[in-house]
Amino acid sequence: PTSHVAIDLVSGEQRMGLVTAGIPHLVVLCENAELVDLTARGPLLRHHPEAGPHGANVNWVSPLGSGLWRYRTFERGVEGETLACGTGAVATAILLLTWGIEMSPVRIRTSSGRDLEVSLERREGSWHPTLRGEGRVVFRGAISDLHIESVSD
């Protein structure tokens, strides 16, 4: 479900909505996502009462031209910007379609510089997304010499 939120917009912001795509996301349509001061605006929106009791991720999106959109994410838990967010891309695409300013598939450029394509289909009142983009291993780890202690009464 999507909804309008009663949060005052600041200069450069055009509209805002809340959508749950696994977790809640505030999506802010703005003039230029590159110019948003995420360190200042992110925490205010992430913890705003309209974002729900546990807060929300916040995504700023702006047009790049030729059907490509630029988005940036301030992610809860990280409490800062992340290079990409799959649920954020889906939430952003849902609101762009809901607002009537884009059609599926939606092409989105992440902060990592990689492009994602979000295809959305509406069935039985729900959005069914397909996300396409590059996947790569960014970390490998191993746990060795794991010792577990048991505590009993």
What is residue 12's DSSP assignment? Answer: T
Residue 134 in tokens: 């590059």
Residue identified by tokens 């202690």 is: 149
Reported as a pLDDT band with limits 50, 70 and 90, residue 149 is confident
What is the pLDDT averaged over residues 75-87?
Answer: 93
- Select from 112, 93, 107 the least CA-distant residue to 17: 93
Q: How far apart are CA 38 and CA 74, in angstroms?
A: 7
Reported as a pLDDT band with limits 50, 70 and 90, residue 3 is low
Q: Please give the mean pLDDT across all residues of the chain.
A: 91
What is the pLDDT averaged over residues 26-47?
Answer: 96
What is the pLDDT averaged over residues 119-123?
Answer: 93
Reported as a pLDDT band with limits 50, 70 and 90, residue 17 is very high
- Select from 89, 92, 55, 59 the least CA-distant residue to 74: 59
CA distances to 1, 36, 63 from 21, in Å: 9, 23, 21
Whether the per-residue pLDDT at 2 is higher than 70: the answer is: no
